[in-house]
Structure 1
Amino acid sequence: MKLHFTRKALDTLPLPAPGVGRAEYQDDEIKGLVLRINEVGEKTFSAVRWSKANQKTIRVTLGPYPDVSIEKARKRAREVNEMIAAGTDPTEERRRMRSELTLDQLFEIYLDRWARQRKKTAREDERDYANHLAPRFGNKRLSEIRRPDISRLHSEIGKEQPRTANKILALLSTVFGRAIEWGYADANPIHGLKRYPEKKRDRFLQRDELPRFFDALATLPNPTARDFFLMCLFTGARRSNVLAMRWEEIAFDQAMWRIPETKNGTPQFVVLHRAAVDLLRQRRKAADSPWVFPSTTSKSGHLVEPKKAWALVLKNAQLTDVRIHDLRRTLGSYQAITGASLAVIGKSLNHKSVQATQIYARLDIDPIRDSVQRAVDGILSYARVAPDAPS
């Protein structure tokens, strides 16, 4: 029976008559796309086409509805049609690809084929997978990974770390999403699982905390880490960008720093407060590396993760619940305190949204520079003693 596939139409399909077993409906938009419904109401998409090259009818299961949406089913049916027209048997190809695949094997494919090429957070994915998913599911075949088991893991992590639990769930969902796209799986077992509600973090250094913070920085034995923390605060740039800062990106005469590529996938021009320029000039005098914050121990050649230095700063400053990323939020907060508009703050911190971007595109650099200058001046005014000059 032909039918125009819509959610309303598929959701209201009658059950097959007793003894019939199942009924099959043909989409009137994509040739070969069918939906089967059995006696208990389970609905499954398939692509069914005659293969001239193989001289047989080929049926490819596309996945259960509604886990697989109508739009995705149509897209996959088109792909199957193209493969059959080219003389390829998708069922044989799928059997070959899915043979004995474990989650560990799938994750390696995901890293090589997707994450390492397209995601800046690929290393975070690897770490999160190793810490949370590999011990529980790594050796399991994809068909053995069930929604209740995933929900149980999500609950276990969420008792202490709800944001981490959501992050792990999102990672596993992405991996299975790619698996479905590549033909390794038919359905995403994460579909329908609810995330924990998350409260957006709003921590920044308060006025009474800034003097202690600067005092702690002044006594920090690692000058590279100290300068890195200061640069994070003075620029409001993301930690990863400051860590990878190169001398060739700094325009001293314009007091500007051009980040070639940010988290948003676009370059960013960062205005530099005079305190940031002074810090950079001091470091430039003794520089023998293309990196502003070099490291002799990291593979990258630059500072990677100064956790111990940050922990020492927090201890000496008697601060709790402060992260390096909160330095970025501190600059934005003091921009707001000193009267900057949300558009100016968003532009200076390279925030990205559809509506805000239209406003940012019309902004001149001068109000952004003025805002950063006022904000850093305000921050520095709370330092009892200015930090020692960088060495």
Structure 2
Amino acid sequence: MAKAKFTARMIEEAGRGEYWDSDVTGFKVIVTRAGRKSFAIEGRLHGRKVKHTFSRVGTMTLEQARRRAKELLFEIVQGRDPAATALAARREWTLKELVREYKTGYFPSLRPATQQHYTDHFDRFILPEMGKRKVSDIAAADALRLFRSVETRCRRVDGEKVVRSGKTTANRVIATLSSLLSESVRLGLRTDNPCRAVRRNQESKRERYLSDDETARLLAACDASPHLVPANLIRLLVFTGARKGETLAAKWSEFDLAHGIWTKPSHHTKQNRTHTVPLSQAALALLRDMRQEAERAGAEEWLFPGARTGRRLVSPKRAVRRIFEQAALTSDVCLHTLRHSFAARVVSSGHGLHATGKLLGHTQAATTHRYAHLEHDTQRRALADSDQLLNAAVSVLISRT
């Protein structure tokens, strides 16, 4: 247990462990394995050890934390347990108050896209339904009621045809609530997570791939489109198989066009790891043209700049849909279909699942295994070629006899 006078720089550079302030006895900083840093105090009350974590590092300044630590340590001297007092107060929290704490303490460890999804679930579904309820009062029946409500609200019917079931959205919302209530268990507000009693809807993975003809029509529609930036986004997704989010958030500093390398930073990737991939000649040709245009326009930060100066493109849904319609693609095609199609092309061209997974940035082999049937098609073609060669050899032998 290191002991030294705390400074902001020392706390910023601290690794996993507990660190004690030499100025205020009993004041410490805790750094977890995940890198979370918290201010805490520790003292003795009636002969027993008392610990209390009172703030995340960053939510208050070091001097504010030091003053708060002195106040809490003085409470122990007066015979009160600050941890028990804080726990009693938290047990009266509403779900809205828990969400506020969750965003402060847990959100910094999540990707920006995940934060946005969670915020959307909180604002649209969870808080309107149960934001004023006490955290300790929420039961499995309440979680199930929310689950069914989301299914109903997100179900869309066109005439007599159901065009959207809402079942997948319900799964995602209940997963968000489950994560929130797991945090309440960690904080000691509850002893259980009622969301675990909710049976999730079965989901089927999308297996839609573009044919070679559909891909050719799509690229032709991009060439004809007046929406240059969305068209370039589609082209790059076709050529790289990258995720939409990491591509929209890409900056020119991530690309080494001389060596044909794209280094995706960890905070942009789904697996939270830096992902380096080679670029195809088609992707490089597109990127070089885009780079020249960016230099002429003076927009040299974002790969896909938005309408406002200094901002990136967020979600060009309308322009993308127009290009898809111009290419005569069916309504079940979306930008993520281009990722599946890229993987299908790589596997079908004879390259293995391992290489495909590396290009896509998969950390689990099981994720790439969904394309295994395409590898079988390649193997069948190889067998057919082998049969053809054998038959030719037999025909030659017969002709000689």
Q: Is the TM-score greater than 0.5?
A: yes
The structure 1 residue matched to 2:328, chosen from 294, 312, 318, is 318
Partner of 2:340: 329
Q: Does 1:225 align with 2:236?
A: no
Partner of 2:287: 280
For the residues of structure 2 that align with 1:89 and 1:294, how far apart are their CA atoms? 50
Partner of 2:276, secondary structure, is strand
Gaps of 5+ in 1: 1-50, 59-83, 358-391
Give 1:214 deviation, angstroms. 2.1
Give 1:158 deviation, angstroms. 3.2
Preserved contact between residue 104 and residue 139 of structure 1 (Cα < 8 Å) = yes
Q: Does 1:91 align with 2:84?
A: yes
**Which structure 2 residues correspond to residues 59-98 of structure 1 after superposition, within 5 A?**
88=81, 90-98=83-91
**Which structure 2 residues correspond to residues 156-235 of structure 1 after superposition, within 5 A?**
156-158=149-151, 160-235=165-240
The structure 2 residue matched to 1:243, chosen from 238, 244, 248, is 248
Higher helix fraction (1 or 2): 2
Give 1:131 deviation, angstroms. 1.4
Partner of 2:6: none
Partner of 1:124: 117
Q: Deviations over 1:145-201 (max 9, x none)?
A: 222122122123335221111111111000000111112333212122111111112
For the residues of structure 2 that align with 1:198 and 1:139, how far apart are their CA atoms? 31
The structure 2 residue matched to 1:252, chosen from 257, 266, 277, is 257
Q: Does 1:344 align with 2:355?
A: yes
> Which range moved further: 154-163 or 219-228?
154-163
AA partner of residue 94 (structure 2): T
For the residues of structure 1 that align with 2:218 and 2:132, how far apart are their CA atoms? 47
For the residues of structure 1 that align with 2:121 and 2:81, how far apart are their CA atoms? 37
AA partner of residue 291 (structure 2): R
Give 1:90 deviation, angstroms. 4.2
Q: Does 1:266 align with 2:302?
A: no
Partner of 2:277, secondary structure, is strand
Give 1:234 deviation, angstroms. 0.7
For the residues of structure 1 that align with 2:353 and 2:242, how far apart are their CA atoms? 17
AA partner of residue 353 (structure 1): Q
Partner of 1:105: 97
For the residues of structure 1 that align with 2:256 and 2:196, how far apart are their CA atoms? 49
For the residues of structure 1 that align with 2:285 and 2:151, how far apart are their CA atoms? 45
> Which range moved further: 134-143 or 202-211?
202-211
For the residues of structure 2 that align with 1:153 and 1:166, how far apart are their CA atoms? 11
Partner of 2:132, secondary structure, is coil
Give 1:356 deviation, angstroms. 9.2
Q: Does 1:307 align with 2:299?
A: no
TM-score where L is the length of structure 2:
0.64
AA partner of residue 317 (structure 1): A
Gaps of 5+ in 2: 1-42, 51-75, 153-164, 369-401
Label 1:293 to 1:355 Cα distance change in 2 as closer, same or farther (>3 A): closer
The structure 1 residue matched to 2:107, chosen from 107, 115, 123, is 115
AA partner of residue 267 (structure 1): T
Label 1:164 to 1:257 Cα distance change in 2 as closer, same or farther (>3 A): same
Label 1:138 to 1:355 Cα distance change in 2 as closer, same or farther (>3 A): closer
AA partner of residue 280 (structure 1): L
Number of equivalences: 278
For the residues of structure 2 that align with 1:199 and 1:354, how far apart are their CA atoms? 19
Partner of 1:190, secondary structure, is helix
**Which structure 2 residues correspond to residues 348-367 of structure 1 after superposition, within 5 A?**
348-353=359-364
Q: Deviations over 1:15-46 (max 9, x none)?
A: xxxxxxxxxxxxxxxxxxxxxxxxxxxxxxxx
Give 1:354 deviation, angstroms. 7.0
For the residues of structure 1 that align with 2:365 and 2:236, how far apart are their CA atoms? 29
AA partner of residue 144 (structure 1): D
Q: Deviations over 1:84-123 (max 9, x none)?
A: 9x98464323112233x11122112111110233344111
For the residues of structure 2 that align with 1:297 and 1:184, how far apart are their CA atoms? 44
For the residues of structure 2 that align with 1:270 and 1:327, how far apart are their CA atoms? 17
AA partner of residue 264 (structure 1): Q
For the residues of structure 2 that align with 1:183 and 1:220, how far apart are their CA atoms? 56
Partner of 1:95, secondary structure, is helix
Give 1:209 deviation, angstroms. 1.9
For the residues of structure 2 that align with 1:296 and 1:345, how far apart are their CA atoms? 35
Give 1:54 deviation, angstroms. 4.3
Partner of 1:32: none
Give 1:55 deviation, angstroms. 7.7
Structure with the larger RCO, 1 or 2 (CA within 8 Å, 6+ apart): 1
Label 1:55 to 1:271 Cα distance change in 2 as closer, same or farther (>3 A): closer
